[in-house]
A and B are shown apart, each in its own frame.
Chain A
Amino acid sequence: DAGVTQSPTHLIKTRGQHVTLRCSPISGHKSVSWYQQVLGQGPQFIFQYYEKEERGRGNFPDRFSARQFPNYSSELNVNALLLGDSALYLCASSFGRVTGELFFGEGSRLTVL
């Protein structure tokens, strides 16, 4: 079975631009979460979606937004990019039960110049 897939794997943007990152969860998983991992740090929670509704939001500015589609795939959007947004953006899926067992994708590595 395919794991969590993310696209693009790498991208370079300049300050002020907008970026859209995409994620397809494991088949049968209804929950998708997004995390930001800055080099040398652990992942930081951005959003969680379950059944197309936002169920949790981390301490990130309104420039960050996300949505989940009827097929449970998800998009993360970041507007007005800053240098500090350079990071590995990780998508994780889970079945939806309250277990905490998240399965991560390989991530999208964003560089902001």
Chain B
Amino acid sequence: QKEVEQDPGPLSVPEGAIVSLNCTYSNSAFQYFMWYRQYSRKGPELLMYTYSSGNKEDGRFTAQVDKSSKYISLFIRDSQPSDSATYLCAMSAGHSGGSNYKLTFGKGTLLTVNP
């Protein structure tokens, strides 16, 4: 079993739709949870960052973490064509047992928002 599982998609939605992206994980030591957006042939861009369980909202984006279920989600409201990209979940145990802040990534989900 991989440490982080993410459905690679692809996911295609019409403009204005609500998008739900998810990851599951197996390592109970993960405490920091991130979502990155990566446009084609570019580096990942940090979108959302959360510590431990709970929700965080930033504009049209909402990140949810459920540590009891080892499940994290990213919701995009009123999706726009400019949101078309690959979305990567990433997790870290922080400064624990020498692992420091190594990030473990999911495979990424390719999202296309159609005008």
Residues of A within 8 A of B (CB): 4, 31, 33, 35, 40-45, 48, 50, 55-56, 58, 90, 94, 98-107, 109
Contacts and interface: CB of A to CB of B under 8 A. Distances in A.
Contact of A98 (B44, B49, B88, B95): B95
Interface residues of B, number: 29
Helix, strand, loop or mixed for chain B's interface?
loop
B4 to A, nearest CB: 8
A52 B99 CA distance: 17
B42 A100 contact: no
Given A43-B105, A56-B102, A101-B34, 13 more contacts: A42-B105, A42-B107, A43-B103, A48-B101, A56-B99, A56-B100, A90-B44, A94-B101, A99-B49, A99-B101, A100-B101, A102-B103, A106-B42
